[in-house]
Amino acid sequence: MTTHDEKPTLRPARPGDAAAVARLWESAWRDAHLGHVSDALVAMRTPESFAARAAARVPETAVAEVGGEIAGFVTAGGDEVEQLFVAAEHRGTGVAALLLAEGERRVAAAGHERVWLAVVTGNARARRFYARQGWMDEGPLDYQAEGEDGPVTVPCHRYAKPVTGGGIRGA
Q: Is residue 128 part of a domain?
A: yes
Q: Is residue 170 part of a domain?
A: no
Q: Give the structural domain span for 141.
A: 9-162
Strand 80-86: give its sheet, edge to edge. 9-12, 61-66, 69-77, 80-86, 114-120, 152-162, 136-145
CB of 116 closer than 8 Å to CB of 160: yes
- 12 Cβ contact partners less than 8 Å away, ≥ 6 residues apart: 61, 62, 63
Q: What is the CATH number of the domain that holds 62?
A: 3.40.630.30
Nearest CA-CA partner of 49 in 77, 76, 18: 18
pLDDT of residue 165: 56
96-112 pLDDT, tens digit each: 999 999 999 999 999 99
55-82 pLDDT, tens digit each: 999 999 999 999 999 999 999 999 999 9
pTM of the model: 0.90
- 171 Cβ contact partners less than 8 Å away, ≥ 6 residues apart: none
Q: Is residue 4 part of a domain?
A: no
Q: Is residue 2 part of a domain?
A: no
What 3-state class would DSSP assign to 56? Answer: helix
pLDDT of residue 4: 54
Q: Which helix (H) or strand (E) holds 44?
A: helix 39-44
Classify the C-alpha dihedral 109-101-98-142 as positive or negative.
negative
Q: Is residue 3 part of a domain?
A: no
The answer, yes or no, to whether residue 94 has pLDDT greater than 50, is yes
23-47 pLDDT, tens digit each: 999 999 999 998 999 888 898 899 9
Q: Is residue 168 part of a domain?
A: no
What 3-state class would DSSP assign to 170? Answer: coil
156-165 pLDDT, tens digit each: 999 999 997 5
pLDDT band with cut points at 50, 70 and 90 for residue 149: confident
Q: Is residue 171 part of a domain?
A: no
Strands (E), 56-167: 61-66, 69-77, 80-86, 114-120, 136-145, 152-162
Instruction: State how far the Cα of 32 lies from the Cα of 120, in Å rounded to an integer.
Output: 8
**Total number of domains constituting the chain:** 1
